[in-house]
Amino acid sequence: MTSSLGNKILGEPIDRIDGRLKVTGGATYPSDVAYPNMAYAALVGSTIGAGTIRAIDSTDALTAPGVLTVLTHENVPPLAEAPPSAFGPAPRFPLQDNRILHHGQQVAVVVAETPEQARAAARRVRVAYEETTPVLGLENPDAPFIANPYQMDDERGDVSSALATAEVVYDEKFHTSPETNNPIGLFATVARWEGERLVVHESTQWPTLARQIIAGVFSVPEQAVRVLVTYLGGAFGAGLRTWPHTILTVLAARLLDRPVRLVLTRPQMFTAIGHRPESVHRIRLAATRDGQLVAIDHEGTSPAGAEEFNVDPLTMGTPDAYACPNLSTHDRLVRLNIPNPGFMRAPGHVEGNFALESALDELAFRLGIDPLELRLRNFAAVHPGTGRPWSSNALRECYRVGAERFGWYAREPGPRSMRDGDWLVGFGMAAVGYSWGAAPCQVEISIGQDGAARVSSTATDLGTGTYTIKAQLTAELLGLDIEQVRVELGDSDLPPTPQSGGSGLAASLAGAIEDGARTLIGAFLDVLSTDEESPLRGRKAGDVTASGGRIHLRHDPSAGESYVDVLRRHGLDELTVTGSKTPDPRADGLDMTPSGAYAAQFVEVRVHHDLGLLRVHRALSVVDAGQVLNEKTARSQVMGAMVMGIGMAQLEETVFDQATGRITNGTFADYLIPVSADIPDLDVIFVGEPDRFNAVGVKGIGEVGTVGMPAAIANAVQHATGRRIRSLPITLEKLL
């Protein structure tokens, strides 16, 4: 799909503008930041799953070479409570008392002159515990639970009577295992106090929230805290919170009055920065014999830490998925003695989609209807909750293009009907609607006498391409070359943007940059309003457009002048404006429902007849992402998302020992993630039109590509083998 705008930069598959810096080692990640006189921290984790610390003895550790201090609950000052965030109450910060709520909870931090000395001494801190039995297991009757934790439960029509009177009823349970984000970049914090001012280099997807929480905990004004993250080695959602290790590092820097760096170890990444929680689901469907859905009931349960809150909205995608008159969704949260979970790409959605799209597929098998045909019969042409039109929805186009490209209709309908030698062959598909969250956003844009633009905001780049799309949007809208745009980001002192998460940043930024570019062109016209020499004198923003480094009349490109000429003639160094956008469909007078991104995902699997080996043989995602900002980074992002979906479907599982709460596979030797040999050729196609809800037409694209993969794979496995696997990951044992 091509750009709706004129300058042919938007949408183009431009290489990442930070690519060279990254591959040549010039990009500074939080773990690379160094200051003179910097000290190094290492963490000590609890070796029990619940109880109290009876005694903690740092004497031996303090005599170890290079050790500067050992912080424990016995010697740190009390911290203030952090302010609540959009994700509920503030996280619980450690070393505030002697209670242990999960295995691996941080019980001490050792600071030394070198990282090796800190780690060596951490092993010499002696902790005596009073152990109690940890509450573990999602179905544990001792676990406290919260009904409707996110206030998102949905109801329409009358599900009970629809289920009681339907021609066909379906009722099954699903399960997904806990998983852990394993970005290549180990999470790190470097903290440096300069009097009452604090600089924190931090692995975060949300510098403004990190600033708010750190300022709150240390009782300093937000303006006194600067959070920096110019490059980030992935995060996938783990960087959307400010975790305890960050607070401990800032605390150590304050108490020692020296800069302190902490880099989590790979095993600590399993306990310190959240994980995708385990989930169980019950799906009930009612349908007519010709496959018209008359009721959907979806109940989902996932855990949070013993005294914490986590948002993993399992049923959130279900109400909008199909045109179905009777619906109810319920989420439940159970408190367990586990490290608090957190966000992992498409949190809640991917688990919920696995349950719902598996159920739809099973219904299709039972009714003898092609699974794609069943979805087409239940397509939600308007928003099913309100009946209002979607701002855009190309899901039917996703189905059509996908079926054709994939060769879906070559599928023999019956299970175990397709074979290639010893391998059973299966085709499966799943549908995805992913509601992204655009939020209020600001940028600062300027153009200087060298004709170059600068665009600044707090937004981070997780590695997904934010630098590049910011440059592309700015160049497109101001009529510049991409080389003429300098991007500043990852700094909480810059104009605020929402988190790089929830697939919302690109759409939010697009609105703010569009507003900023329009405002900046308006500022140039203001300068020219009484300029006798200018062909643009007295012109309004609507009369002009920009290309080739010039503002010119829309209908007469020869009548215009360059940014550089205007600035020079008027003796101005630069013009700078702020662009901002708060998405609000009502304010725009649009009677529509902002739609999600959509995808149809198709998978061919092979299952070895004797050995049960499962291979994804090929996979296709057809995605409606509205206006694609960069065909290359967008495609890469969908492919990466598909890989995570394959990992979830086949390999990934964080194993909690059910007696102690210890994670038994928290290393790269034991925790399986997909490697190249697990991943076939991945095919990605974009369809659809720029979305009407957004000035540039952007929809979020970060997560949609993960969501349907587990269900598509499970559905293909059923087609290949006749076996329905309702629990992820689909391992060899489950297939034998």
E strands of 203-278, at which residues? 225-228, 260-263
- Asked whether the beta carbons of 457 and 442 are under 8 A apart, the reply is yes
Closer of 125 and 235 to ligand MOS (Cβ) = 235
Task: Give the angle 96-102-107 at the CA atoms, nearest 5°.
Answer: 40
Q: Which CB sits closer to ligand MOS, 502 or 705?
A: 502
708 binds ligand MOS (CB under 6 A): no
Quick one: 515 or 703, whose CB is closer to ligand MOS? 703
Would you state the structure tokens that stand for residue 406, as one six-digit string? 């994939």
Task: Indicate whether 345 belongs to the interface with ligand MOS (CB under 6 A).
Answer: yes
Task: Judge contact between 545 and 552, C-beta under 8 A.
Answer: yes
Query: Does 501 contact ligand MOS by CB under 6 A?
Result: yes
Q: Applying CB under 6 A, what is the total number of residues that bind ligand MOS?
A: 10
**Residue 135: other Cβ atoms inside 10 A:** 21
Q: Which stretch binds ligand MOS (CB under 6 A): 61-69, 222-230, 246-254, 341-349?
A: 341-349
Q: How many angstroms separate the CA atoms of 424 and 420, rounded?
A: 6
Contact 554, 543 (CB under 8 A): yes
* 36 Cβ contact partners less than 8 Å away, ≥ 6 residues apart: 259
CB of 250 to ligand MOS, least distance (A): 23
CA–CA gap between residue 326 and residue 341 (Å, rounded) = 32
Determine which residue in the list 347, 433, 674, 708 makes contact with ligand MOS, applying CB under 6 A.
347
Tell me the closest approach of the beta carbon of residue 343 to ligand MOS, in angstroms.
Answer: 4
CB of 355 to ligand MOS, least distance (A): 19
Query: Does position 30 bind ligand MOS by CB under 6 A?
Result: no
Check binding of 502 to ligand MOS (CB under 6 A): yes
Footprint (CB under 6 A) of ligand MOS, residues 238-257: 240
Query: Cα–Cα distance between 497 and 512 in angstroms, integer?
Result: 9
Minimum CB separation of residue 709 from ligand MOS in Å reads: 15
Closer residue to ligand MOS in complex, CB, 51/347:
347
Taking CB under 6 A as the rule, does residue 237 contact ligand MOS? yes
Q: Give catalytic status of residue 703 as yes or no.
A: yes
Length of the chain (residues): 736
Give min distance, CB of 317 to ligand MOS, in A. 14
Which entry of 179, 476, 653, 703 is annotated as an active-site residue?
703
CA distances from 224 to 193, 214, 244, 458 (A): 10, 10, 20, 16
Choose, by CB under 6 A, the member of 29, 174, 343, 524 that binds ligand MOS: 343
The nearest distance, CB 701 to ligand MOS, in angstroms, is 12
Site residues (CB under 6 A) for ligand MOS, limited to 311-340: none
- 60, 126 in Cβ contact below 8 A? yes
What is the β-pairing status of strands 453-456 and 441-448?
Answer: antiparallel
φ/ψ of 246, rounded to 5, equals: -65, -45
> Do 360 and 375 touch, CB atoms closer than 8 A?
yes
All residues at 6 or more sequence positions from 19 whose CB lies less than 8 Å from its CB, including other chains: none
Q: Which residues in 166-205 contact ligand MOS (CB under 6 A)?
A: 205
311, β-bridge pairs? none
- What's the min distance (Å) between Cβ of 499 and ligand MOS? 7
199: helix, strand or coil: strand
Measured in whole angstroms, the distance separating CA 487 from the mean position of its chain's CA atoms is: 22
Q: Choose one: 144-152, 235-243, 584-592, 658-666; the region binding ligand MOS (CB under 6 A).
A: 235-243
Using the rule CB under 6 A, which residue among 150, 231, 236, 434 binds ligand MOS? 236
Pick the piece of the chain touching ligand MOS (CB under 6 A) from 210-218, 344-352, 391-399, 693-701: 344-352
Active site positions, annotated: 703
Q: Which residues bind ligand MOS (CB under 6 A)?
A: 205, 236-237, 240, 343-345, 347, 501-502
